[in-house]
Structure 1
Amino acid sequence: MSPSPQEEEDLAAAWGEALEQEEAAPAPAAPAPEATRVLNQAEIDSLLGFGGDSAKQEDQTGIQRIVSAGLVSYERLPMLEIVFDRLVRILSTSLRNFTSDNVEVSIDSIVSLRFGDYLNSVPLPAMLAVFKVEEWDNYGLLVVDSALIYSVVDVLLGGRRGTAAMRIEGRPYTTIERTLVERLITVVLQDLSDAFSPLSPATFRFERLEVNPRFVAISRLSNACILARLRVDMEDRGGKVELLLPYATLEPVRELLLQQFMGEKFGRDSIWETHLAEELRHTELSLNVVLDEQAMPLASVMSLQRGDCITLNVAPGAPVTLRCGEVPLFEAELGRRENRLAVRISRELRRQAED
């Protein structure tokens, strides 16, 4: 049964009102896209498990801590600590001249560890410089972290003061950055040579620059090394320099490094030497003129009486010896001056014996 004309008109009117209400209603808001954020290196290291040594140590038992503490205990090198202190003072001045900025260098820590453990803990990205000590015929490692790399590049290329260096993650270092860091490494190695020079001559020569720890195999993974961490601050920016020296590299100067350091200078004390020399010049000594020496039996010596004569086997005018205690000093001629016996020194015996 088909609808009547009146019903068709009512349906059409109802349909039109529904369409008008739907068009007047506000459209539902579209879901906002999620904001994407790039993780920095510190967050990546945290996700991968780096830098969480303290939390891991809290979960370890006492035996596990002993096993993973370094495995062996190495001897302290007192003089090496003084060398690093001298390096800090020299490096502060050199980096101020290098960057034309206010630079402060300090020592964070000096620790002993195994070479393989250190390679596994190197924070990447970083630049690893391999250097050779010419006199000791062995190698060492100098590591510059990314924060100091970007800070040095920013300062040397005219970056504004008061702004932190921009750190770009996930890209290799450019040729300009590598060249500028090589200049920085050359300055550090030259200062390291100067720091060792009062103790022993040492020339630290730059070999190569690497960005992957696998390519810096300068020692066996189980060998012992000493690590010095230096902090470089340039106002509101800076970073760390890590100096790694295997114990095999330090073996030629090990005896010197074991010395107990006293005072503020290496080796000789010029002030004490000058004072001692001045006092020795005013010391009074007694010189003995030896005319002759002869061996006599003890019985003959005990039988000597007043008035006895001892014959000297020396011809008149023969040279005599001047001694200080048991040390012969000069050879002289015996004579007389104003009713007194006198000797004229002809030659020095001690210097001739040394020659």
Structure 2
Amino acid sequence: MADEVLSQAEVESLLSQMEAGGGRAVAAPAMAAPAAGAAAINKAPRTREKVTPYDFKRPERVGKEQMRALQSLHEGFGRNFGAAMSALLRSIVDVKLTSVDQLTYSEFVFSLENPTYFNVLRAEPLEGNLILDINPSILYPIIDRLLGGGKEAGPVARRPLTEIELRLVSRITQLFLNELKRAWENVLALKLSVERVESNPQLVQIVPPNEVVVLISFELMLGDIRGMINLCIPYNSIERIGSKLTSNSWASYGKQTVSAASIAQISRQIDRSLVDVVVTMAETRITTEDLIGLRVGDIITTDHDIRSPLQVAVQDVTKFHASPGAFKGQKAIRIDATLPPEKKLG
């Protein structure tokens, strides 16, 4: 059988069929080496390269390793800031890191509420300014708690802060800066301060609108109330210290042991906290008609035995058994037993 040589067009046609058929073998007659300008039939099929879209409006200038370092560093910061907030407000506060993203400064600014609590920070020796934004949905409940308010969350105000409120919230800001300084001390010794406070974020231009920033977002939970705290770090501020944002520099922060002094300080704060203590004398049921007809001096009968202990609850958790009595002319109870901690289901 005479040697056959395929033309370039025939080779391209066969290769197209192989690609369309998922790489299945195609039968072809034996051939001699192709002449000049012709391709061999047993040529390896061309591989398709994966194309990744790139958005020039949102360039990723911070490396993946630096982003992972920032995420791990601020996860530890969130835990410590939550503990410090709990001591200040005398209530359980949970702070959780939700995201570490790259975006443009204009995208960050236009994503915020107006008005809001917008702090322009100075972080020497970093260049430029940083931004700390606290969402009003969590800020006003914090102010209410600092002023002695209760657990009920009222409507969120849509107005700039007053001078008195600014003085109160500055305690939260300073607490944030103190913990942020501790979080960064293994990377860089920062000298943090607030340069100015604004209510309209669109009036502040610390970098050009298209400049890349790193947005670090935290969710703060105070009981059933939730709100966001955002830390904005422009790329040009951390560009020169990119090599320091490695696993060797920040890993030790999350593994620090709690010192005895820290435990004592938190204990002193908690010891001065006010708690609700409720003693249940007895429980019974009556009709609405009887309830409406109650007058001073009426007696309500119950099934509670006078010799049975009373339930004493602290912050809605039953903690003690007690007996009723009097002390120096005042109604009182005597603690008879301490109940074991309630086990949480699940």
Shorter-chain TM-score category? 0.5 to 0.7
Paired with 2:229 and 2:254, the residues of 1 have a C-alpha distance of 28
Offset of 1:211 from its aligned partner?
Answer: 0.7
Paired with 2:254 and 2:91, the residues of 1 have a C-alpha distance of 34
Check the 8 A contact 2:73/2:251 in 1, yes or no: no
Matches within 5 A, 1:6-155: 67=55, 70-72=58-60, 74-76=62-64, 77=66, 78-155=68-145
Check the 8 A contact 2:102/2:214 in 1, yes or no: yes
Residue matched to 2:231: 243
Check the 8 A contact 1:128/1:211 in 2, yes or no: yes
Residue among 247, 252, 262 paired with 1:265 = 252
Check the 8 A contact 2:57/2:210 in 1, yes or no: no
Query: Which amino acid in structure 1 is aligned with residue 168 of structure 2?
Result: L
Offset of 1:89 from its aligned partner?
Answer: 1.8
Tell me the number of residue pairs that the alignment of Structure 1 and Structure 2 aligns: 203
Offset of 1:139 from its aligned partner?
Answer: 1.0
Residue matched to 2:200: 212
Paired with 2:122 and 2:249, the residues of 1 have a C-alpha distance of 30
Query: Which amino acid in structure 1 is aligned with residue 109 of structure 2?
Result: L
CA gap of 1:72–1:201, structure 2 versus 1, over 3 A, is closer
Paired with 2:205 and 2:250, the residues of 1 have a C-alpha distance of 38
Paired with 1:268 and 1:188, the residues of 2 have a C-alpha distance of 20
Paired with 1:126 and 1:70, the residues of 2 have a C-alpha distance of 25
Show structure 1 runs of 5+ residues with no match. Answer: 1-64, 270-355
Query: Which amino acid in structure 1 is aligned with residue 114 of structure 2?
Result: L
Offset of 1:262 from its aligned partner?
Answer: 9.5
Paired with 1:137 and 1:263, the residues of 2 have a C-alpha distance of 21
Offset of 1:224 from its aligned partner?
Answer: 0.7
Check the 8 A contact 1:115/1:220 in 2, yes or no: yes
Paired with 1:251 and 1:71, the residues of 2 have a C-alpha distance of 14
Paired with 1:193 and 1:72, the residues of 2 have a C-alpha distance of 26
Offset of 1:173 from its aligned partner?
Answer: 2.4
**Greater share of residues in helix:** 1
Residue matched to 2:162: 174
Query: Which amino acid in structure 2 is aligned with residue 198 of structure 1?
Result: N
Offset of 1:240 from its aligned partner?
Answer: 1.1
Offset of 1:213 from its aligned partner?
Answer: 1.5
Report sequence identity in percent.
22
**For 2:221, what is the secondary structure of its paired residue?**
strand
CA gap of 1:74–1:135, structure 2 versus 1, over 3 A, is closer
CA gap of 1:165–1:132, structure 2 versus 1, over 3 A, is same
Normalising to structure 1: TM-score of the pair? 0.52
CA gap of 1:267–1:173, structure 2 versus 1, over 3 A, is closer
Indicate the RMSD between aligned Cα atoms, in angstroms: 2.7
CA gap of 1:264–1:246, structure 2 versus 1, over 3 A, is closer
